[in-house]
Structure formats: structure tokens, C-alpha cells
Amino acid sequence: MKLTTKMRYGTRALVDLALHQAQAPVPSGEIAERQQVPIKYLESILVALRNAGLVHTTRGALGGYALAREPERIVLAEVFDALEGPTPLVACTEGAACPRYDGCVTREVWARMYAASRQVLEDTTLADLADRAREKQRVAGDLYQI
């Protein structure tokens, strides 16, 4: 299984917003710089996230992006659906798209893999990721203290 850069960058941008929500709205340029993501690509991702109702924008000199809901209420499955679509790993797991459908033993494995990965996405919130990021920053800071 492979996630696209769209999903990876989009998730990083949302975690960035969760970490900086007290400073909302956050300009896309700041997110792009912190996350080392090309600004134009990030802006297209943010549009998709806005259309999905995950972020909202404020225009103007002090404008930028903010989460549309608390990070505890946004799960990665929503991000995945907004950026990738709720597509299975293999098309045949959704229906009889193949003449081997009924007798195919591998189709069942692909369906279980998709269900398991989907469950991880449903169980993980932006708040979970933001908490992990804060902990990693704290540990990294502790390692370099003299």
C-alpha cells in the first residue's frame, strides 16, 4: 500500500494547524515553510480540505487557514476521503468486477487489508497526531540540552 504525497502533505498541514490553532488563522506560506511542502501544491490540497469541510479560510492581510472543528473531532479517514477518495486497495473488493470473484482467495486478503487500514484511519484523530508531535518535540529538546 502506498499513500500519495497529497495525503501525506495534507495530513502534515492539518497537524501543523492543530499545533498552531491558537495562532489561527495560519497563512499557507507558514505551513509550507514549516512542513517543507511546495506552496502551490499545498494550496491545492488546502482547497480540497476546505471543500470537505475540514478547514476554513479567512481572507485578507491577516488571513489564513484554521481547522473547521476541534482536532479531537477530525479523524484521518475524513482526510483520506477528501484527498484520495474512499477507494479500496483493489477494485474487486467492492463487487464482482472480475470473473474470478467468487473463487478468488486473494480478494479476501485485500478486503481485510483495506478494512484494517481503514480502521486505523478511523481511530486516529488530528489531536492524537498533534500530541505525538508535541512529545517528539519535547524529547528532541531534552536530548540537546546541556
Q: How far is CA 80 from the centre of its chain?
A: 6
Smallest Cα–Cα separation from 30: which of 39, 41, 18, 19? 39
What mean pLDDT do residues 11-18 have? 97
Rounded Cα–Cα distance for residues 94 and 52 (Å): 23
Q: What is the chain's alpha carbon radius of gyration, rounded to the nearest angstrom? A: 18
Each residue's pLDDT tens digit, 112-132: 998 999 999 999 999 999 999
| Alpha-carbon distances of 109 from 104, 105, 112, 131, rounded to whole Å | 10, 7, 5, 33
Helix (H, G, I), strand (E, B) or coil at 26: strand
Smallest Cα–Cα separation from 44: which of 58, 61, 32? 32
Is 33 within 8 Å of 66 (Cβ atoms)?
Answer: no
Percent of the chain with pLDDT over 70: 94
Each residue's pLDDT tens digit, 64-105: 999 999 999 999 999 999 999 877 777 777 766 677 777 888
